[in-house]
Amino acid sequence: MSVEDPTELSAGRALPDSALPAGAGAGLRRQRLSVAAVFVAAMFINIIDATVVNVALPTIAVDLGVPLDQTATINIGFLVAVAVAIPVAGWLGDRFGPREVFLVALAAFTLASAACGVAQTVSQLVLFRIVQGLAGGLMTPVGMAMLYRTFPPAERVRMSRIINVPIALAPTLGPVLGGLLVQQASWRWIFGINVPIGILAITFTVVMVRPLSKGTRTSFDTGGFLLAGAGFAGVMFAVSEGPSRGWGDPLILVTGLVGVVLLVVFVPVELRRTSPMLDLRLFISRMFRSANLITLCSAAGFLGALFVYPLMLQSAFGYGPLEAGLLTFPEAIGILIGTQIASRLYRPIGPRRLIAAGQALVCLVLVAIALVMSPSTPHAVAVLLMTLLGYGQSHTFMPIQAAAFDTVPRSKVGAGTALYNATRQAGAAVGVALAATVIGLIGVPTEAAEAVVPFRWALVALAVLPLLGSLLALFTMHDEDAAPSRGLAPVG
């Protein structure tokens, strides 16, 4: 019997721990807490690693003796590798077991982090970053599949309170931590900090997390993998580099166009497969489809804002990296507070109105930041606005995480988490690309009084995305689809 079996008794209804035998209940509680703990640790170092490097690139260029523009591949290699790995994550988890794949990915990420810290050339650093990206692209969807297979729907509200911690803290801690390490120690430590966390997480997973049952997929969809991997990689490269190289650059046009064509071809190919690499039929589920569309919009708006805001504080207002990071950090406090409130409102209200209200608040806050913020704005106002931004976003994070997989069959959770993470990754890239494009098109004026203008317009453009997310929640989500995670209906 697999470790999840007791949670699927009584015709699909998840039994509370108190209704299980004493030993089984304690074992399930321990398994859930253990899976949540290792997922939080893995997500934390993964997100930190994706955000911490930017502030260190000028120092890396000087230390390794190369022009600054040659360091761009350090991030590009990472992002493209993540895009390649995500599509295959679901199949690997089903074929070899999610715990085993998670351990291999976590170990590879930790070793690659150590190797990045001792790299002697840019080429070596790029190679090790690619390994990091491949490992990170596997680690997140497989870890999420472990969560959704360990926590029954009625427990996912509590689960979301836990996993919001890395999502809230890591994006804002990354630049602050990176600036501190670069200034006070060495850029090599931005990778070195992953090593002890990774070792602890590996040890904890081996000791505390029991193996989970494997999925039913056995055949590898080679064609789907090649189409999805190359397509996602091409689009991710174009979207990431388009703002800096220019959208008319031949390399951007070719990679972007080829990527889009491959993904278009990918759709009918996968729909004909009995065991597809990415199961696009999951989008038939109304809740899963709506959750992915809203995640695309909310990730684009929120992460795009986290890109623009500290850049505006430094480039237009003259703040240092550390001060800009500290003024951005209150969004994490807003998420942590908002998650506790949203989790209590989730059962009586349902996800539809929570998400619609949360995304509407994010939209209003982004417009307020664009209109209000200036070099003379009191810090208290900046802190309040960023706290409200996080508070609004938490009302999307929490309900989406609880409800997204309510109507996805348990056997398809691995495939679903791969699709969901591909959507979120695409949203993040789109948001940053949109913001960078607006800033690049307007240009940063030399006059100090006008330097904030491109950042204001970038924030206004980003505000359209959560507005769209709010409308999608109102008109495409149905609270009855989330009945299992609200504890109102059996899992079915």
Contact call for residues 392 and 338 (beta carbons, < 8 A): yes
CATH fold of the domain at 1-221: Growth Hormone; Chain: A; (1.20.1250)
Nearest CA among 438, 329, 463 for reference residue 51: 329
Tell me what pLDDT residue 404 has. 86
141: left (phi over 0), alpha (psi -120 to 50) or beta: alpha
What ranges do the domains of the chain cover? 1-221, 223-272, 278-492
Residue whose C-alpha is closest to residue 157's, from 8, 343, 15: 343
- Smallest CA-to-CA distance from 122 within 181, 185, 175, 59 is with 59
The Cα–Cα gap between 103 and 202 comes to: 6
> DSSP labels for 178-244?
HHHHHHHS-TTHHHHTHHHHHHHHHHHHHHHPPPPPP-S--S--HHHHHHHHHHHHHHHHHHHHHHH
Question: Consecutive sets of 10 residues in the chain, 492 residues long: mean pLDDT of each?
Answer: 38 43 66 84 81 74 77 77 85 87 94 92 90 90 86 79 72 74 81 89 90 73 86 84 82 91 91 83 91 94 88 84 81 89 90 96 96 90 94 91 84 83 85 86 72 90 96 94 79 48
Q: Report the pLDDT value the prediction gives residue 1, as an integer from 0 to 100.
A: 35
Nearest to 305, CA basis, from 391, 240, 370, 398: 370
- List the structure tokens of 83: 């895009």
Global pTM reads: 0.83
Nearest Cα to 410, choosing from 491, 484, 480, 291?
491
Q: Tell me, what's the pLDDT at 70?
A: 67
Residue 306 burial (CB count, 10 A): 25
CA-nearest of 293, 304, 399, 316 to 350 is: 399
Decide if 1-221 and 278-492 have a common fold: yes
Domain 278-492 has CATH 3.40.50.2000: no
Residue 20: per-residue pLDDT: 47
pLDDT tens, position by position, 270-328: 888 887 878 888 899 899 999 999 999 999 999 889 888 888 888 888 887 678 878 88
Residues 6+ apart with CB under 8 A from 267: 280
What whole-number distance in Å separates Cα of residue 276 and Cα of residue 221? 6
Other CB atoms within 10 A of residue 357 CB: 19
Put residue 237 in one of left, alpha, beta given phi > 0 → left and psi -120 to 50 → alpha: alpha
